[in-house]
Structure 1
Amino acid sequence: MDLKLALEKLNLNDRQGDLDHLINNMLQQIGSTDPVLRDDLIYSTFGKLVMMDFLNKEQLTHLLNVCLDQDHLFYEMGERETDSDFTRSFSVLVVALVVEKDRSSRFLKKEQIEASIEGSIRFLQEEQDTRGFVASKGWAHSIAHGADALAEVIKHPLFDRKKRFECLDAIQECLFKEGTYVDDEEERLLFAIEALLEKGMKEERLSKWLTSLSDNLEALFEVERYSVQFFHKKGNVLSFLKSCYFRLVIRDTCSNARRVIEDVVEKWTRKIYLGD
């Protein structure tokens, strides 16, 4: 039976047939360019299978291992604006699902969690396709989906807090990639920042990192000056900082970090628009 039709007719509470076969078929087509099949059916079904306890430990582990492999999470990594992005983007979403489930059920081995952490960080570092919504093909959204996975692995009990530096570096790399974020990517990246704070990251560390964003923007400006590429990256960084500011206000925390953001935003407003 055609996968789309099979998923449309699927009744998980009265399921007939081979679930393992269905999972593998879904994995093979996880990067379909049909947005209904990919997003509404395959990903939605994976969400139900994982979170509603339809899969056993072996099936969950298999699902994670496949999504982390070179043919899924890192499939044609480095390409921009090609259909390979859909495979990477929706594979990383499934990684997030399985890791989230493991936080409550704890069925994964330590090395599998470590592979998920490493894979999520590497994914955001190496992904070059920054598109959000793609006409006729639906959501690509690799950066946002990668941010979701990063937030989930940070929340996991086995997350090594020493990895926080790599996580911050990965987020920074995302802010300086080619392209302008227009579909709330910076908002999704902030969930990882919040997760790091919940895991005990000190405000001083956050403040230093926020300052480094401005320092790197300054270095970029010295090279690219008033180019379109510079303005796109400046826009990404400042949009992220402004969103970060209000998230910290809402949480009523990190007053010093908020002052750093105020200073950075004022600096760049004066530098670009007031000629200071």
Structure 2
Amino acid sequence: MSGSYWEQVRATGLLVPADRPLGDLTAELTRMLGDPDPDVRDGLAYPTLATWISRGVYDDLLTGLGDGMAAGLRVGLGESGTDTVFRRSFSALVLAECIARDNDRPLVPGGKVLEWGDRIATWLLRERDLRAFVPKRGWAHAVAHGADALATLAASPHVATPELTVILDVVADRVLTPTSTPYAHGEADRLARAVLAVLQREKVPLTVLEPWVARVGAPTTSPSPDAGNAEAFLRALYLQLALGPRPPAVRADLLLVLVDVLRQRNADFLARA
């Protein structure tokens, strides 16, 4: 379909067109999620799917839609510098919308949501294209979108303490994975927000959190971008934990843990008087 068709759909307030089957519309929108044109991908496909999900258009089809988005996470996985990243990254955002809809009302079996969570985690850890803004193509932002998906997953009633702990490990693994791409466009903040979503469930004890922070914050002399990514993440987590809304019960104790780790990593600047 031409872009003008979807522009007309947007002009109606994203009402579902009556001139084509929903399945055909969905297939077209799914293809558009991988379009290198940001006006098509980010301006039309994603907001249309997200709006239809939130309005309940897919309530009876949510499992199938989510499975389709999960399949999109594998398209071109392992590539870097190619346009396939857009399909993967925006599939993660739409899959998060599916999970969010189920968070609001039970529509999907718990086992299916956990399966989607596994697919998100596997993709995020294997993703090698960490570009944020791509000239002439707009935002790819796989790390940020993956973090958003993890935050939504953490709020799922199907996710219990073991799964929440896995989410923390996925964040740590992503932050510590060697890369030449620094987090310079909010990735650290969005990963920290995912951790806050885990903490706000009040199911992960400090005995788990303390060694987790120590692992992420282990001092390093390496000037590589991945070392800087860990630093940026720890600072973002401290800021959100200290100033963010809905503080978890472990806030005070975890802030002390973060302060100790940040002092160790920044001894030249934060030496005690």
Identify whether the pair has TM-score above 0.5, normalized to the shorter chain. yes
**Overall identity of the aligned pairs, in %:** 27
Q: How far apart, in 1, do the equivalents of 2:209 and 2:231 lie?
A: 16
Match of 2:225 in 1: 232
Which ranges of structure 2 fall in alignment gaps of 5 or more residues?
none
Q: Note the C-alpha offset of 1:272.
A: 9.5
2:92 is matched with which residue? 92
2:253 aligned residue? 256
| Match 1:247 to one of 240, 251, 264 | 240
1:8 corresponds to 2:7: yes
Contact 1:93/1:149 (<8 A) preserved: yes
Give the Cα separation in 1 of the matches to 2:267 and 2:243: 27
Distance 1:13 1:26, change over 3 A: closer
Alignment of 1:42 onto 2:59:
no
**What is the CA–CA distance in structure 1 between the aligned matches of 2:230 and 2:214, rounded to whole Å?**
11
- Give the structure 2 partner of residue 76 of structure 1: 76
Match of 1:167 in 2: 167
**Aligned pairs (5 A) from 1:16-31:** 16-17=18-19, 18-31=21-34
Of stretches 48-57 and 37-46 in structure 1, the one that deviates more from structure 2 is 48-57
CA contact (8 A) 1:207 1:256 kept: no
- Determine the structure 2 residue equivalent to 1:53: 56
**More off after superposition, 79-88 vs 202-211:** 202-211
1:235–1:112 Cα change, 3 Å: same
Unaligned runs of 5+ in 1: none
SS at match of 2:224: helix
Closer, same or farther: CA 203–68 of 1 in aligned 2, 3 Å = same
Letter of the aligned partner of 2:253 in structure 1? N
CA–CA separation in structure 1 for the residues paired with 2:16 and 2:182: 46
Contact 2:53-2:97 at 8 Å conserved across structures = yes
- Aligned partner of 2:37: which letter? D
CA RMSD of aligned residues (A): 2.0
Partner of 1:114: 114
> In the alignment, what sits opposite 2:216?
213
Deviation for aligned residue 1:35: 0.2
Q: What SS is found at the alignment partner of 1:68?
A: helix
Counterpart code for 1:22: L
Q: Which moved more, 1:233-242 or 1:133-142?
A: 233-242
Secondary structure of 1:53's partner? coil
CA–CA separation in structure 2 for the residues paired with 1:169 and 1:115: 17
Within a 5 Å distance, the mapping from 1:149-228 to structure 2 comes to: 149-177=149-177, 178=179, 179-199=181-201, 200-215=203-218, 217-218=219-220, 221=221, 225=222
